[in-house]
Amino acid sequence: MSTTHDKACSGNCTHDRLLQPASTPPLPNLEQLADFERGTLSRRVYWDDLVYQQELEKIFGRCWLFLGHESQLPKPGDFLTTYMAEDHVILVRQRDGSLKAFLNTCPHRGNRISFSDFGNARSFVCNYHGWSFGIDGALKGMAGQELFDASGMKSAEHGLHPVAQVASYKGLVFGNMDPNAPPLSEYLGDFRYYLDVMLDMDGQGTEFVGGPVKSVIHCNWKVPTENFIGDIYHALWTHDSAARAVLGGAVAEVYKDEHSFHVNHNGHGWEFNLDTVGNCATLGDKELRKYLYGIQPTVASRLGELRSKMIGAISSCSVFPNMSFLPGQNTFRVWQPRGPGRIELHTWTLVNKSAPQDIKERWRKGAMLTFSPSGIFEMDDGENFEFSTRTNAGFLTRQQNLYMGLGLGSRLQDTELPCNVYRNQVNEANQRAFYRRWLDLMQAQSWADVPVRDPNRLDESAFHHDAPQEAA
C-alpha cells in the first residue's frame, strides 16, 4: 500500500494508474455486469477505464459527495480544498454564514486557484495572471483589467464555477454537481435514522479532530467502499492476529449473533450488532469504553434503546458512493477515485463535540493505531484492496464472475426498523444493494430515469430528537 504521492505529482496524476489490457473490448451492456438474483458480479467493474469514465459522469457527476465538516469552517472566509472525484474544489464559509463551493480552477487558463488544504481568505488570487475572486466566487479584477474591458469581456460571466448544490446534515457538508439532483434530505432519506447514531448522540453535535491524513492505495474506489458497507466477514480472518494483539483473544464469532443486521437504503449501507462497544474495544482503551457506556443513557433517551446499543458496536457503514466510517473506532474516510486502479484516501477522526478533551485525544490516537497508513488494521486491508483490484485485469481472470450472494433470501419482513433489513451482519445484502444503485445510476440518463426502489417512509420529525425516537 502506498502512503505518499510522487513528489512531482500534483495530486491528480495518472501515470501509475492500473495498466489496461492491450486490447480493451467496448463497454458491454451494463446489465451484464451484475446478476442480483444469482449474486454475481463482473470483475470488469474494477479495472475497466471505460466503466470508470462513465462513473465519473453518472455517479460522481450527479450524486451527493462529502466535502467537509462544519467544524472545519467556523468563521466567514474559512475555506478548505478537497475533491469531488477528480474535480478539485474549494469549500468556503460566506459572510452570511452559508457555505458555497467552487471548482478550484481559474476560468482564464485553468490554473489551480488555491494550493492550501485550508485557511482563511478575503479573496482567492490565481498565481498565473493575477485574476482575483471574492469568497463568493465572483471575479473582482485582474492585472491589466482595462485591456479586458476594452475587449468587451463581461466580468460577471467569468467567476469561479459553482458547485450546483451544497447542503449539510448534522455537521456533514455535501456537494452535488447536478442542479437537478434530489435534495440531500431526500438522497440520504430514511438512512438518516442510522446516521444519527454517530451524528446526534447527545444533541451537541460532532467535530473532526486531526487530519486529514492522506494516503494512496492502488485499488478501485468501490473495493474499500463495499468493504465498509458491510464486510465484517473479512475481520474474522484478515484482522485476527491484530485483534488478538489488542484484545488478547480472537474477534468474536459475529456470524453466530442472532441480534445483528445488514440495513441498506438507496445504496447506503450499515452492518451492525448490538454489543455497544465491540469496535471501540479494539482500540484497547478502557476510558473510551467507559465514556460510551456513560453516554448510552443519553442516547437511549434521544434515539431509543436499540440505537443506543449501536454507538460503538462491531459495525461499519458506507454512504453512497464513497464515504465510510466505523462507529467506536471513529475513523471517518472518503475514498477519492484517481482512475480505475488508484484512490487517494482522506481520513479524519469524528468525535462528539461535548466529549472531554482527553477522550477526543484518546480517540485520535486510537484511530491512528488502527486505521491509518501505519495502523494495524489498515495495513491488513490495504494489501487486500490492491490485489482485489489488479488481479482482476488478467485476460482469463476477467472472464470469471465474482460471487456476492451471501445472505440471499435473508431479508426480514416483520421488523419495525426502517430501510431494508437483513438478518445477520455476516451478509452481502449491502454489497448487492450498493451495486443495484450503481447500476441504476450508470444506466440512467438523468435523475428522472433512476428507478425509485427504496422510497422514503419516515416523517421528517423522525430526525429531530426532542423526545425518544424508536423505529417507525
CA distance 321 to 456: 18
Q: Is residue 59 a part of any domain in this protein?
A: no
Q: Indicate if 368 and 258 belong to the same structural domain.
A: yes
- The residue type of 308 is S
Q: Is residue 460 a part of any domain in this protein?
A: no
- 6-to-3, 9, 12, 218 alpha-carbon distances in Å: 10, 5, 11, 13
Strand ranges, E, within 218-310:
260-265, 268-273
CA distance 397 to 394: 5
pLDDT of res. 379: 81
Q: Find residue 67's DSSP bridge partners.
A: none
Q: Are 302 and 193 in contact (CB under 8 A)?
A: no
Strand ranges, E, within 32-135:
34-35, 40-41, 65-69, 78-84, 87-93, 99-103, 118-120, 123-125, 132-134
C-alpha cell, 6 = 510522487
What is the mean pLDDT of each successive set of 10 residues along the chain, which is 472 residues long? 40 43 59 93 93 96 98 97 98 98 96 96 94 96 83 87 98 98 98 98 95 93 96 77 66 72 98 95 95 98 97 97 97 97 97 98 93 85 88 89 95 94 95 97 96 95 71 44
Q: Indicate if 139 and 274 belong to the same structural domain.
A: no
Question: Among residues 200, 381, 440, 454, which one is catalytic?
Answer: 381
151, 180, 209: which is the final residue of a domain? 180
What is the total count of domains within the chain? 2
Q: Indicate if 144 and 209 belong to the same structural domain.
A: no
- The residue type of 227 is N
pLDDT of res. 25: 55
CA distance 95 to 439: 41
CA distance 366 to 393: 36
Domain holding 88: CATH number? 2.102.10.10
Q: Pick from 60, 423, 471: which is nearest to 304 by CA?
A: 471
Q: Indicate if 309 and 333 belong to the same structural domain.
A: yes
Question: Among residues 69, 88, 218, 239, which one is catalytic?
Answer: 239
C-alpha cell, 232 = 465484517
**CB proximity list for 245: less than 8 A, separation 6 or greater:** 376
CA distance 36 to 76: 48
Q: Indicate if 216 and 150 belong to the same structural domain.
A: no
Q: Is residue 130 a part of any domain in this protein?
A: yes
Q: Residue 169 sits in which domain range?
A: 64-180
CA distance 391 to 346: 25
User: Catalytic site residue 108?
Assistant: no
Strands laid side by side in the 99-103 sheet: 99-103, 87-93, 78-84, 118-120
Q: Indicate if 135 and 215 belong to the same structural domain.
A: no
Q: Is residue 244 a part of any domain in this protein?
A: yes
Q: Pick from 160, 166, 157, 165: which is nearest to 102 by CA?
A: 160
Domain holding 345: CATH number? 3.90.380.10
127, 158, 180: which is the final residue of a domain? 180
Q: Indicate if 112 and 238 belong to the same structural domain.
A: no
C-alpha cell, 113 = 486557484
* Residue 194, φ and ψ in degrees, nearest 5: -85, -35
**CB proximity list for 348: less than 8 A, separation 6 or greater:** 69, 208, 209, 210, 211, 212, 213, 331, 332, 333
Q: Is residue 469 a part of any domain in this protein?
A: no
∠ Cα 33 35 41 (to 5°): 50
Burial (CB count within 10 angstroms: exposed 0-12, middle 13-18, buried 19+), residue 459: exposed
Q: Is residue 18 a part of any domain in this protein?
A: no
DSSP string, 125-176: E-TTT--EEETTS-EEE-TTHHHHHHTT--GGGSSPPBPSEEEEETTEEEEE
C-alpha cell, 71 = 467544524
Q: Indicate if 176 and 196 belong to the same structural domain.
A: no
Q: Find residue 231's DSSP bridge partners.
A: 426
Question: Among residues 6, 117, 149, 234, which one is catalytic?
Answer: 234
DSSP string, 300-320: HHHH-HHHHTSTTSSEEEEET
Q: Indicate if 268 and 409 belong to the same structural domain.
A: yes
Q: Is residue 459 a part of any domain in this protein?
A: no
User: Catalytic site residue 381?
Assistant: yes
Question: Among residues 196, 231, 380, 440, which one is catalytic?
Answer: 231
Q: Are 34 and 287 in contact (CB under 8 A)?
A: no
145, 180, 215: which is the final residue of a domain? 180
Which helix (H) or strand (E) segment holds residue 287: the answer is helix 286-303
CA distance 423 to 407: 8
C-alpha cell, 47 = 479495472
Q: Indicate if 223 and 328 belong to the same structural domain.
A: yes
Q: Indicate if 171 and 101 belong to the same structural domain.
A: yes
- The residue type of 314 is I
Q: Are 410 and 424 in contact (CB under 8 A)?
A: yes
Q: Is residue 245 a part of any domain in this protein?
A: yes
CA distance 182 to 41: 28
